[in-house]
A and B are shown apart, each in its own frame.
Chain A
Amino acid sequence: MEENRYELNKNLAQMLKGGVIMDVTTPEQARIAQEAGACAVMALERIPADIRAAGGVSRMSDPKMIKGIQEAVSIPVMAKCRIGHFVEAQILEAIEIDYIDESEVLSPADDVYHIDKTKFKVPFVCGAKDLGEALRRISEGASMIRTKGEPGTGDVIQAVRHMRAMNSEIRRIQSLTEDELYEAAKKLQVSYDLVKYVHENGKLPVVNFAAGGVATPADAALMMQLGAEGVFVGSGIFKSGNPKKRAASIVQAVTNYTDAKLIAELSEDLGEAMVGINESEIALLMAERGK
């Protein structure tokens, strides 16, 4: 992969910052999301809550369905492929997707190897639950990171846990002396250069979003205050009573995430939130897929 292309792909993630990326399953939902202020949409056949309910093997969406969504909106369109399924990724690249999410929400296709993302021209976003996972995905070529959270639950606890874990490890790396970085790299199973970058800059070398279980404006603002640079909202919007209003409220809450008074107003009359399931009630922990 040309050096330039990776920079351009990291740059696109920079343009998404401060924004909300929404899961959509139809062109109609994509238009609603765009009008509500989504900075990008994730095109998928079933939102995570339904994938969870349906069970079985979950795969990349029908390219025709993705193309329909590409036609419907002007904002970037993302789509998911299975972990390790580089042919699904090739297909998504062939239809000129703007970002591929190599995602634990779908059934993994490879339980050892992730996709070598340096072989692709289109950018990849990957989930991570700690610093080691994030840096390993980056060394494989991911140009954007998101917390894994626990998709399709409407329960924000795991996204919080993952964001806190990442930030606390980043702070720890910052506090190390230079000679201690070698050992840190060994423990994290990543290259010394990446650890050194974190040590010097106090952040990941790519944009870091929150994802998984965000259902309310307050959830979104919580993730922003914890250090996320933007938010993915999956099932939370179109599984709720008033998707349009909830989507627009979450967008505003992400921009003004420290203004509690405004978030209070935004939280009024949103209708029913997605019912959700608690962490302890889930049989399948998607966050444990792909480490």
Chain B
Amino acid sequence: MKVAVLALQGAFVEHEKMLEELGAEHFQIRQKQDLNREFDGIIIPGGESTVMAKLLKDLDLFDDIKGMIQKGMPVFGTCAGLILLSKEIKDEETYGFGTMNIVTRRNAYGRQLGSFYTETDFKGIGKVPMTFIRAPYILETGENVEVLATADNNIVAARQGNQLVTAFHPELTNDLRVHSYFLDMISKRK
């Protein structure tokens, strides 16, 4: 199994460390030619979603990756990754892939002073540590979206078929179970 990690900006190395520990092969996508390699899933990390969207377009990666996701490529988006996969962003224009039936609020907890850590239930996994950094949350979910976790009544993890999103950063903790959940999604598809 090989996982591609979008490495345009943000905390992609942290995701690679998790994959390393789980024994999954991985490599970085920084430009178009990287997409020629074979891979079974893709991770869109945390960082600044506006930066990633801009670079996806400038480096001509946007349409190809969007096509892959639409064709069923398993994808895991954390924080900025969640924003890029959202069909709608509350009170703003959508600038990401928009492949997942969710409405998201960006910077939903305010500025850095609103960043926090908590532990709460993740469906099918149990209690997981969750680090929220200037995080978004999901306001509404549409067809075929399963809610996987809520924190203070806000949706913070969800899945729609091949797409998994978390508003928090499992890659900033030592808990490998959310990544392991994603790798399971990949193996079940194969």
Known: A37-B55, A75-B50, A98-B134. A15 touches B11 (CB 8 A): yes
Cβ distance B118 to chain A, nearest Cβ, rounded Å: 10
Q: Contact at B54–A35, with CB atoms within 8 Å?
A: yes
Q: A164 at interface (Cβ–Cβ under 8 A)? A: no
Q: B99 at interface (Cβ–Cβ under 8 A)? A: no
Q: Contact at B117–A4, with CB atoms within 8 Å?
A: yes
- Interface of chain B: mostly helix, strand, loop or mixed: loop
Cβ distance B90 to chain A, nearest Cβ, rounded Å: 12
Q: B12 at interface (Cβ–Cβ under 8 A)? A: yes
Inside 8 A of A7's CB, which chain B residues have their CB?
A: 117, 131
A-B contact pairs, 16 of them (CB 8 A): A8-B116, A8-B133, A11-B169, A15-B47, A16-B47, A36-B54, A40-B48, A75-B48, A75-B50, A76-B111, A96-B111, A97-B112, A98-B134, A252-B55, A254-B9, A255-B9
Q: Give A36's nearest chain B residue, CB to CB.
A: B54
- Bitwise, B151-173 to A at CB < 8 A (1) or not (0) is 00000000000000000010010
- Bitwise, A29-64 to B at CB < 8 A (1) or not (0) is 000001111111000000000000000000000000
Q: Contact at A96–B106, with CB atoms within 8 Å?
A: no
Interface size on B, residues (CB 8 A): 36
- In the assembled complex, the Cα of A67 lies from the Cα of B14 at a distance in Å of 32
- In the assembled complex, the Cα of A287 lies from the Cα of B80 at a distance in Å of 35
Residues 24-68 of B contacting A (Cβ, < 8 Å): 30-31, 46-48, 50-51, 54-55, 58-59
Known: A19-B10, A259-B31. A9 touches B112 (CB 8 A): yes
> What residues make up the interface of B, taking CB atoms closer than 8 Å to A?
7-14, 30-31, 46-48, 50-51, 54-55, 58-59, 79-80, 92, 106-107, 110-113, 115-117, 131, 133-134, 169, 172
Q: Contact at A39–B112, with CB atoms within 8 Å?
A: no
Q: A145 at interface (Cβ–Cβ under 8 A)? A: no
Cβ distance A119 to chain B, nearest Cβ, rounded Å: 15
Q: Give A78's nearest chain B residue, CB to CB.
A: B112
Interface size on A, residues (CB 8 A): 39
Most buried by A among B46, B50, B169: B50
